[in-house]
Chains A and B, each alone.
Chain A
Amino acid sequence: AQSVTQLGSHVSVSEGALVLLRCNYSSSVPPYLFWYVQYPNQGLQLLLKYTSAATLVKGINGFEAEFKKSETSFHLTKPSAHMSDAAEYFCAVRKAAGNKLTFGGGTRVLVKP
């Protein structure tokens, strides 16, 4: 079975600092990879997705993620944190021929002024 590991359940960053959220997956075949964001009292929204067209994927709100096959990783970054980035972030994977999306445990981001 596939699994997704997000390192760190909570991350605290200062406004303007780099945001780095780590995601590693277990899969023998490169899957489809996604990052979702959940703002308080809302459902999840898609931030970005990996499609195998390019290893560096740009998403909404200035976020991007890099797929590294050798490290089975798909880490999410944003160069400069904004107060509005405070939310919970989820990494997810799906097999190429499957319907099931498997989520990591989530990382809650706190942005300090």
Chain B
Amino acid sequence: DVKVTQSSRYLVKRTGEKVFLECVQDMDHENMFWYRQDPGLGLRLIYFSYDVKMKEKGDIPEGYSVSREKKERFSLILESASTNQTSMYLCASRKWRGGSNSPLHFGNGTRLTVT
């Protein structure tokens, strides 16, 4: 079974702090994703990574950056946390098979509160 592990289940940070959310997958997947989940809005893509050191903006990248130095790890960075970034953050990974419909595998999420 694919395991996607997010380092923190709950996180409370202050406005202006730099925040790191970590995600590790153990199945050698090329693609990794960061989504945020808000009630009524479903999941919105923040950033994704095709492979190591490669990244692409999703639909809502403002206020976020990412890092993928190793294949198994994908970090989401909030450069200066703001209250509107209070949300549930979900990491996912996927095996790339060139046009196939391989599904995403999700971690259990990190609930971030910015005060």
Q: Is the CB of B43 within 8 A of A103?
A: yes
Given A44-B90, A97-B99, A99-B31, decide whether A90 and B104 contact each other with a Cβ distance below 8 A. Answer: no
| Of B14-22, B68-76, B78-86, B105-113, the one with at least 4 CB within 8 A of chain A | B105-113
Q: Is the CB of A43 within 8 A of B90?
A: yes
Report B23 CB to chain A, min CB distance, Å: 11
Q: Is the CB of B40 within 8 A of A9?
A: yes
Given A34-B103, A43-B108, A94-B101, decide whether A100 and B42 contact each other with a Cβ distance below 8 A. Answer: no
Q: Across the interface, which residues of A come within 8 angstroms of B106, CB to CB?
A: 36, 43-45
Q: How large is the interface on A (under 10, 10 to 19, 20 to 34, 35 or more residues)?
A: 20 to 34
Q: Across the interface, which residues of B come within 8 angstroms of A49, CB to CB?
A: 101, 103
Q: Across the interface, which residues of A come within 8 angstroms of B24, CB to CB?
A: none
Q: Across the interface, which residues of B come within 8 angstroms of A61, CB to CB?
A: none
* Chain B 36-48 interface 0/1 with A at a Cβ cutoff of 8 Å (1 = within): 0000111111001
Q: Is the CB of A100 within 8 A of B108?
A: no
Q: Across the interface, which residues of B come within 8 angstroms of A4, CB to CB?
A: 42
Q: Is the CB of B90 within 8 A of A100?
A: no
Interface assignment of B64: CB less than 8 Å from any CB of chain A: no
Q: Is the CB of B108 within 8 A of A51?
A: no
Q: Is the CB of B101 within 8 A of A90?
A: no
Report A16 CB to chain B, min CB distance, Å: 29
Report which B residues bind A (CB closer than 8 A). Answer: 4, 31, 33, 35, 40-45, 48, 50, 58, 90, 92, 94, 96, 99, 101, 103-104, 106-109
Report which A residues bind B (CB closer than 8 A). Answer: 4, 6, 9, 32, 34, 36, 41-46, 49-51, 90, 92, 94, 96-97, 99-106
Between-chain CB contacts (< 8 Å), 23 pairs: A34-B103, A41-B108, A43-B90, A43-B106, A43-B107, A43-B108, A44-B43, A44-B90, A44-B92, A46-B104, A49-B103, A51-B101, A90-B42, A92-B43, A99-B31, A99-B50, A99-B96, A101-B104, A102-B45, A103-B35, A104-B42, A105-B40, A105-B41
